[in-house]
Amino acid sequence: MIRLEFPNHQFRFKEENNKEFIFDEIRKRWVRLTPEEWVRQNFIQYLIQIKKYPASLLAIEKEIKLGELKKRCDIIIYKNAVPWMIVECKEPDVILDDKTAQQIFAYNMVLKATYLVLINGNKTYCLETNTQKMMHSIPDFS
């Protein structure tokens, strides 16, 4: 398991029809603030501010096809124009187990990324797919 400290960030919030929204700086739009979205937005800022990932190489809620099914990957980071890392975000109450791992493995059958990250805000796991080894930290982008 990887220990992360999310950076302080001045998120923008608004309320509409008794629902909270957060501004997604990557997608440039307001999105519903759910527990999963809170994890996703904080991890995005961790990648950009702490790990220095270029924001322009992040795709959020990217649609992919798994056979006939259309699915959405929470975060895909591209390197050299190909998927390099897939991140699956879960809300803090969701246990990261085989079921959640199977979801990201299915996405990787299509995307063939080097790194797979599962995060729920409390726990973070990162697998290097080439060696099948668990990482002790999120890899640097450079």
Query: DSSP strand E in 28-123: where?
Result: 29-32, 58-66, 69-79, 82-89, 115-119
- Backbone torsions φ then ψ of 7, nearest 5 degrees: -75, 155
pLDDT per position as a tens digit, 84-114? 999 999 999 999 999 999 999 999 999 999 9
Range of the domain at 103: 13-134
69 located within any domain: yes
Looking at the predicted structure, is the pLDDT value of residue 68 above 90? yes
Residue 46 inside a domain? The answer is yes
Q: Per the domain annotation, does 108 fall within a domain?
A: yes
Residue 36's CATH number: 3.90.1570.30
Cβ atoms within 10 Å of 47's Cβ, excluding its own? 22
The Cα–Cα gap between 108 and 83 comes to 9
Residue 89 located in a structural domain: yes
Give the whole-angstrom CA distance, residue 110 versus residue 86: 11
Q: For residue range 13-43, list pLDDT tens digits in order.
A: 999 999 999 999 999 999 999 999 999 999 9
Determine, yes or no, domain membership for 1. no
Q: Is 74 contained in some domain?
A: yes
Q: Which two tokens stand for residue 51?
A: 């790990």
Tokens of 79: 């390197």
Nearest to 117 by CA among 66, 81, 78, 75: 75
Q: What is the pLDDT of residue 142?
A: 83
Does some domain include residue 5?
A: no
Domain count, the chain: 1
Cα separations (Å) of 8 from 94, 99, 124? 24, 31, 18
Report whether pLDDT(54) > 90.
yes
Q: Is residue 141 part of a domain?
A: no
